[in-house]
Amino acid sequence: MSTSSLEEIKRVKLVAIIRSHSLEGLENTARSLYHGGIRAIEITMNTPGALRGIERIKETYPELLIGAGTVLDSETARLAIMSGASFILTPTLKKETIETANRYNLPIIPGVMTPTEVLTAYEYGAQMVKIFPIRQLGPKYLTDLGGPLPFVETMAVGGISLENAGLFLKAGASALGIGSSLVDEKLVKQCDFEEIERRAASFVEIVNKVKSQN
């Protein structure tokens, strides 16, 4: 399997999660994130026009890594791949969806929580898993998982903020998926894209600080 997209996610360590009510909102948000230093974004499939959004943003920002999120089944995964998604994220664990992504040689990051689900996802062919929701579990959970399962890469998602992002990275997360604390739906509706850009730059600064300490 090609791991270039996965390696890029591990390098930049931040995946911005975008939900919007319009294609215009998606594009404006992507622009703000890009200017703020974000280089990997996830467009959720429950966003109207998500597939077209993947295509358009990929055309406008070829250096941005564009993934599809909230993928619930193998057919949706296939449609996202056909639209140009570079990686797939799911909120749950489903073997058929992982098999579809693997068939197209595309990284998939399924949502899991328990150690059994983490190992099962790995055995199904996922090279990275999304620990979701991480809010209730905390950074120490990632450290504990790394004991028996050090060979599984993790992305922490669900409750990542400017206050705890560094803690999750230091605890062993290979990447962070960031939603409302970065792309607040209210900011998008208010067209306050400057604030989204400012928050993006703040998250990038945290990542750079953690990297410099390693």
* Spatial distance between the Cα atoms of 23 and 124, rounded to a whole number of angstroms: 34
59 is catalytic: no
Residue among 13, 94, 130, 153 flagged as catalytic:
130
DSSP 28-97: HHHHHHHHTT--EEEEETTSTTHHHHHHHHHHH-TTSEEEEES--SHHHHHHHHHTT-SEEE-SS--HHH
| C-beta atoms surrounding 72 within 10 Å | 14
8 is catalytic: no
Residue among 42, 94, 153, 197 flagged as catalytic:
42
* Spatial distance between the Cα atoms of 160 and 189, rounded to a whole number of angstroms: 22
Angle between helix axes 95-103 and 74-82 (nearest 10 degrees) is 30
Looking at the annotation, which residues are catalytic? 42, 130
